[in-house]
Structure 1
Amino acid sequence: MNKAIALAAMSLFAGANADLQTCSTTSGYSCASSSTTPTCCFNYPGGALLQTQFWDTSPSTGPSTSWTIHGLWPDNCDGTYESSCDSTRAYTNITDILQSQGRDDLIDYMDEYWVDIDGDNESFWAHEWGKHGTCINTIDPDCYEGYTAQQEVGDFFEKVVDLFKGLDTYKALAAAGITPSTSKTYTLSAIQAALTKMHGASVYLGCSSGKLNQVWYFYNVQGNVIDGSYKAVKTLTNSGCPSTGIKYVPK
């Protein structure tokens, strides 16, 4: 058996034997329960999950008609958060881990849509995993049945990409007539309305020198963060943009 076939077989075996524990569909959503006990089916204390995106223009990153991925962050339901929760799992070889799990298509997608402003994607991914991914308690290794080393890493990155694919910020803004321009400016309320319409709840908008460059989508989750049910909830953080005159410059 050649190396490629052996690797594929190993990945299939790992995926078939490393499933997260099944969670009841009757359990409550994170942040909406009085429980303060983290379990493999209840995200705590990071009960709010934020899918965060960038619009980088100096330098430009990613396709000219798409925002890019920043990460998936657990928030303590109040705008505060824990970070870098498990140094023993702060892996720096994310590409190697994903390749060992047969997730080559995922790597290709991340190289296009989850990109570092300085061109060092590997370090960016490692940072997002170590700082935020290790703080998501429902993907702790002991939450897996038949756990295989680093399975939670691949599951995390796959989930972030899946969420991102369902949140096309560029398309939602364009549908409201909000497109990149060197001369036009937009209001905070118009941008917020367009993205709230897509997401189902208000979002955080970030600006730098009056230029739109970030959006955070907030969720509560019923069950674990990979297989659970996601419910859009309003932002926990006030916007970092002015009310008028917001620039949305082209890449």
Structure 2
Amino acid sequence: MTQSSLSLRGLLAHAGNLLTFGSMVPLPLSDIRPYEALSGAPSCPVDSPISCHNNTPVAGDDSCCFVYPGGRMLLTQFWDQKTHAGGAEQDWTLHGLWPDLCDGTYDQFCHMTPRYNNITEVLEHYDQQELLQFMNRFWLASSGPNSGLWSHEFNKHATCINTLAPSCYGDHTPGMEVVDYFSRASALFRMLDTYHALEVAGIVPHSRKHYPLADVTAALERFSGGKVVLRCTGRRDVLHEAWYVYYVKGSLQTGNFLPAKDLGKEGDAGNCAPWIKYLPKKPLEEDL
């Protein structure tokens, strides 16, 4: 990769930080919105409470502007063992956007929104071809069709996000919440270029080299502005997952994602050894 392409990659990532969420740099957060929600999503006041920073749920209509009870959001990425078809050797992939219960525990397969097993069809119905193209590049199943992973992620995690409930939409039609969940997760992923964040710190894939876990963590936390949980495979020494930790001010659809400054009670689910490997991906042709 040339120096010019590296600079462009970094510039795009930084621009995404500025324009998409505004939470990675010292800018006023209250006036920045990540994207336009599909339609009918709650328009929340700028002084909405921050998730996990209130001991009781917000009552009435305002509950659609406060993510509860799962208000500690994890944007989870994987460093896969091989290059995916249509992808690149530098690609981290998106695994999910998970609502934890502010203490490291979580609910799953809830009933706050309907479940969907036809994610592709729903996104096509709402003319989300560009989003689908992005997801087929970066939101990939380790086995089976990508649509199977997408249904699993939505039904397990998005159904536990209260602001995606149909009652939170002014004019709800089935599937709006699907578009908002996958759009929001993809928008967050776009600004978190894990490969670039490590690369600028001198941490690049290598078949033999070990890196201090503290250096890898520090590089990602400098870039994201918040806490990051790392997960490893092998003998807990092969980097495989990065979880970026956020709270939400407002609704999941239109609120601001604020980088977590601490992991909270039982929040560090990391399992990596003090020194870890960041292995290069196997080229796609090696599996032929």
Q: TM-score, normalised by structure 2?
A: 0.78
- Out of 136-145 and 25-34, give the one that drifted further: 25-34
What residue identity is the alignment partner of 2:53?
A
Does residue 41 of structure 2 align to residue 20 of structure 1?
A: yes
What residue identity is the alignment partner of 1:28?
P
Unmatched tracts of structure 2, length 5 or more: 1-35, 282-288
Asked if the contact 2:238/2:277 (under 8 Å) is kept, the reply is: yes
1:81-128: CA deviations, max 9, x gaps?
Answer: 000002972211110000000000100010000001114201000000
1:60 Cα deviation after fit: 4.2
Is the alpha carbon distance of 1:134 and 1:200 closer, same or farther for their aligned partners in structure 2, counting shifts above 3 Å? same
Match of 1:201 among 218, 226, 231: 226
What residue identity is the alignment partner of 1:216?
W
Q: Following the alignment from structure 1 to structure 2, what is the Cα–Cα distance between the partners of residues 20 and 163?
A: 18
Does residue 258 of structure 2 align to residue 227 of structure 1?
A: no
Query: Secondary structure of 1:218's partner?
Result: strand
Does residue 75 of structure 2 align to residue 51 of structure 1?
A: yes
What residue identity is the alignment partner of 1:127?
H
Match of 2:185 among 153, 160, 185: 160
| Percent sequence identity over aligned pairs | 41
Asked if the contact 2:205/2:278 (under 8 Å) is kept, the reply is: yes
Match of 2:270 among 212, 226, 239: 239
Q: Residue 9 of structure 1 aligns with which residue? A: none
Is the alpha carbon distance of 1:242 and 1:200 closer, same or farther for their aligned partners in structure 2, counting shifts above 3 Å? same
Asked if the contact 2:65/2:250 (under 8 Å) is kept, the reply is: yes
1:227-249: CA deviations, max 9, x gaps?
Answer: 101110033224210011x1111
Equivalences for residues 177-216 of structure 1 within 5 A:
177-209=202-234, 210-216=237-243
Query: Secondary structure of 1:19's partner?
Result: coil
Asked if the contact 1:141/1:152 (under 8 Å) is kept, the reply is: yes
Q: Following the alignment from structure 2 to structure 1, what is the Cα–Cα distance between the partners of residues 40 and 144?
A: 34
Q: Following the alignment from structure 1 to structure 2, what is the Cα–Cα distance between the partners of residues 171 and 73?
A: 23
Q: TM-score, normalised by structure 1?
A: 0.89
Please provide the CA RMSD for this pair.
1.8
Structure 1 runs (4+) greater than 3 angstroms displaced: 15-18, 59-62
Q: Residue 118 of structure 1 aligns with which residue? A: 143
Q: Following the alignment from structure 2 to structure 1, what is the Cα–Cα distance between the partners of residues 37 and 205?
A: 44
Q: Following the alignment from structure 1 to structure 2, what is the Cα–Cα distance between the partners of residues 40 and 30?
A: 12
Unmatched tracts of structure 1, length 5 or more: 1-14
Q: Following the alignment from structure 1 to structure 2, what is the Cα–Cα distance between the partners of residues 124 and 229?
A: 26
Give the number of aligned pairs: 235
Asked if the contact 1:204/1:239 (under 8 Å) is kept, the reply is: yes
Match of 2:54 among 30, 33, 38: 33
Q: Following the alignment from structure 2 to structure 1, what is the Cα–Cα distance between the partners of residues 151 and 64?
A: 23
Is the alpha carbon distance of 1:26 and 1:35 closer, same or farther for their aligned partners in structure 2, counting shifts above 3 Å? same
Asked if the contact 1:17/1:145 (under 8 Å) is kept, the reply is: no
